[in-house]
Amino acid sequence: MTLPVLEPRFIAVEGCIGAGKTSLVKLLGNQFDAQMVLEVDEENPFIDKFYQDRETFGFQTQIFFLLNRYNQYTGLAQRDLFSSVVLVDYLFQRDRLFAALNLKEQELKLYDQIYTLLSNKAPKPDLVIFLQASTEILRTRVDKRGREYEAFMDPDYLDAVNKSFNNFFFYYSDTPLLVINTNDIDFVEKKCDLEELIVKINSHTIGREYYNPLGS
């Protein structure tokens, strides 16, 4: 199959923990020589302690992520988005979803003051891709990648995060949205699955679309 170029110039790939966001961005970025903006969880100095004690380390963890994401997104706003395709492995609003799950009431009020100031300056993607998967599939993927700090993750927390993402994107309307059910595909190991995704990405232009590939 001869693949076309990527039509959307600024694409954000989203999904729950273990959905495959970074993997898809890297595959697309390498194939199309695109600029990639990747979030590196390991750079957060609080992440290890967070998974062991979310209540104590939630606020520090969340503020670090918020400021880091803001710096990355504002960097995009200051460059020529038309010079090349830009791929980001998170949507800026992702931070608020985690904050709502992880912060106490008073912490969330303080967080929201900071978030409101920063979020208005974040550029909007031309297309958002939401990689959807069941919690069971996500758990399998998280275990497979073997990140040491994720070994402490409460299974109920992963389920809560997954439900939060599904709810958010059910109502999302800020940009064109492509929802992809990834339960039965493996775009990392199977080239044909990736090629079909690329065709679908290029064919989506406006509104919301749900894509349920059968896998190969």
Residue 60 sits at φ, ψ, to 5 deg, of -60, -45
Phi, psi of 178 (to 5 degrees): -115, 115
Assigned token pair, 96: 């608020």
| DSSP, res 8 | -
Classified as helix, coil or strand, 130 is strand
Contact present, 62 and 99 (Cβ < 8 Å): yes
pLDDT at 52 over 70: yes
Which residue from 44, 41, 52, 45 is spatially nearest to 18, judged by alpha carbons? 41
131-150: pLDDT as tens digits: 999 999 999 999 998 888 88
Q: Which amino acid is at 189?
A: E
C-alpha angle 122-172-111 in degrees, rounded to nearest 5: 50
Compute CA distances 149 → 41, 87, 103, 152, 195, whole Å: 10, 26, 20, 6, 33
Task: Check residue 1 and give its pLDDT.
Answer: 47
What was the pLDDT predicted at 41?
Answer: 85
pLDDT computed for residue 206 by the predictor = 82
Separation CA 44–CA 70 (nearest Å): 14
CATH topology of domain 10-211: Rossmann fold (3.40.50)
Rg (the chain; Cα; Å) = 17
Summarised one tens digit per residue, pLDDT across range 148-190 is: 888 888 889 999 999 999 999 999 999 999 999 999 999 999 9
0.85 surpassed by pTM: yes
Residues in the chain: 216
How large is the average pLDDT for residues 105-121?
95
pLDDT of 50 over the 50 cut? yes
